[in-house]
């Protein structure tokens, strides 16, 4: 949305601009939470319940809301204006400007930001998943191969993929996954995403981490060999980003190795490798999975990560590998800008 037009609106009609912003925000939030009661929505938006009630009455009169015992929901008519309302709300909250600034400062073609901070509100992670799911589908074409990692953010993306016209895509895990929560494993999410897209999948039934000799033997297995070949031909890779210190603990890394990496400035983790704030790889992955150096040049990287606490981790990973898309939240985006402004 044109920032010049937004600036003019604020100068000429600040009262109308505030009201339009409130209506757009309420429409956008109801679309995510529906059906939702006025009190719950007021708490989510940190607005007086009276304002929610008055705006809801106006939106219902315009034909955009439906009210019943379960709460407020969007009408079919609202779908006509929902996308524009989302863009307007983002622009008025400064998120569009922040997206553009980050894409200029980072090796990322496009940045999309969900309002809020996932560290403070669990719903924000679902919003990041919804935004990423919609964009991911537009990046894929029939015949493509999609590789996905595990983790809570990728799981949020998987849950938000809408079942529409089937896409003839192959989905593969970007790394092994035996030994962690089954519902967050790359194998589990690859199968779920393939099902929602209407595509096919292959699995890697191997531990996430194993010694080099065992890995070489396992790679000779036909199923594993096929999956690894598909990984190298991936057209799109969807992955999460971990905070280095948390990932080390979760994967039960030797305490001395943890201390050494942290002293060297480890901030972020992705695909089992650790990076400092400048994007330098401090330790390469020893896991079975994608080898970034062997991907084809046209492969498009998509990162999804949320929460102010992940700002440094996101910056570290993105500085190492150029991305087509970053989907994050307001908390992490503002944190990244604070680091860059130091």
8 half-sphere exposure, CB direction, 13 A CA radius = 5
List of residues 6+ apart from 51 with CB closer than 8 A: 22, 42
Q: Identify the pLDDT of residue 2.
A: 58
Choose which CATH entry (1.20.58.110, 1.10.1060.10, 3.30.930.10, 1.10.10.10) describes domain 3-92: 1.10.10.10
CB-based contact 121:213 (threshold 8 Å): no
DSSP letters for 68-117: ETTEEEE-TTTHHHHHHHHHHHHHHTTHHHHHHHHHHHSSEEEEEEESS-
For the chain, which residues score pLDDT lower than 70? 1-6, 9, 176-183, 205-225, 286-291, 293
Going through 194-270 in order, the beta strands assigned E by DSSP cover 200-201, 236-239, 242-243, 266-270
Name the pTM for this structure: 0.85
- Determine the 3-state secondary structure of 46 from DSSP: coil
- The verdict on whether omega for the bond into residue 35 sits within 30 degrees of 0, i.e. cis, is yes
Q: Identify the pLDDT of residue 120.
A: 92
143 half-sphere exposure, CB direction, 13 A CA radius = 0
Q: Identify the pLDDT of residue 86.
A: 85
Q: Identify the pLDDT of residue 215.
A: 59
Burial group, residue 275, by CB count within 10 angstroms (0-12, 13-18, 19+):
buried
Q: Identify the pLDDT of residue 339.
A: 96
- Determine the 3-state secondary structure of 277 from DSSP: coil
Neighbours of 237 (CB within 10 A): 25
Token representation of residue 23: 């209506």
Q: Identify the pLDDT of residue 186.
A: 87
Note the CATH number of domain 95-340.
3.40.50.1360
Q: Identify the pLDDT of residue 196.
A: 95
Helix axis angle for 152-160 and 122-139, nearest 10°, is 60
Q: How many residues does the chain have?
A: 342
Rg, C-alpha atoms of the chain: 22
Every domain of the chain and the residues it spans:
3-92, 95-340
Distance CA 248, CA 36 (A): 39
Residue 319's H or E segment, with its range, is: helix 311-320
Residue 169 Cα to chain centre, angstroms: 20
Whose structure tokens read 């498009």?
300
Token representation of residue 2: 């044109």
Token representation of residue 45: 């938006």
> Fold identical between 3-92 and 95-340?
no
CB-based contact 70:84 (threshold 8 Å): no
Distance CA 251, CA 278 (A): 24
Q: Identify the pLDDT of residue 312.
A: 98
Question: Phi and psi at residue 233, in whole multiples of 5°?
Answer: -100, 15
Q: Identify the pLDDT of residue 198.
A: 94
Distance CA 161, CA 132 (A): 9
For 58, 220, 293, the CA distances from 19, given in Å and listed in that order, are 11, 63, 51
CB-based contact 60:71 (threshold 8 Å): no
Q: Identify the pLDDT of residue 251.
A: 83
């Amino acid at each position: 949305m044109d920032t010049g037009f937004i600036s003019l609106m604020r100068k000429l009609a600040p009262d109308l601009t505030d009201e339009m912003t409130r209506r757009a925000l309420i429409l956008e939030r109801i679309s995510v939470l529906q059906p939702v009661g006025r009190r719950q929505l007021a708490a989510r938006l940190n607005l007086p319940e009276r304002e929610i009630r008055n705006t809801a009455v106006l939106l219902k009169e315009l034909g955009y809301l439906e009210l019943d015992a379960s709460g407020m929901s969007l009408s079919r008519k609202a779908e006509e204006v929902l996308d524009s309302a989302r863009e307007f709300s983002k622009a008025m909250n400064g998120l569009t400007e922040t997206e553009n600034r980050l894409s200029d400062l980072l090796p990322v073609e496009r940045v999309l930001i969900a309002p809020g901070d996932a560290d403070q509100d669990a719903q924000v992670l679902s919003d990041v998943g919804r935004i990423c799911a919609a964009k991911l589908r537009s990046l894929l074409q029939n015949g493509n191969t999609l590789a996905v990692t595990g983790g809570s953010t990728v799981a949020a993306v998987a849950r938000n993929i809408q079942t529409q016209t089937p896409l003839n895509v192959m989905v593969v895990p970007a790394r092994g996954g035996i030994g962690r929560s089954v519902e967050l494993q790359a194998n589990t999410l690859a199968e779920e995403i393939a099902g929602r897209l209407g595509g096919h999948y292959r699995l890697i039934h191997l531990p996430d981490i194993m010694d080099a000799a065992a890995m070489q033997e396992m790679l000779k297995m036909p199923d594993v060999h096929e999956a690894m070949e598909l990984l190298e031909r991936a057209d799109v890779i969807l992955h999460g980003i971990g905070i280095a210190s948390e990932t080390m603990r979760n994967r039960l890394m030797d305490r001395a190795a943890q201390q050494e990496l942290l002293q060297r400035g480890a901030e972020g983790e992705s695909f089992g490798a650790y990076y400092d704030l400048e994007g330098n790889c401090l330790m390469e992955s020893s896991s079975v999975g994608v080898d970034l150096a062997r991907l084809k040049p046209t492969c498009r990287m998509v990162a999804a990560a949320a929460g102010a606490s992940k700002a440094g981790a996101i910056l570290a990973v993105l500085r190492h590998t150029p991305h087509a898309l970053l989907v994050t939240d307001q908390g992490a985006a503002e944190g990244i800008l604070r680091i860059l402004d130091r």
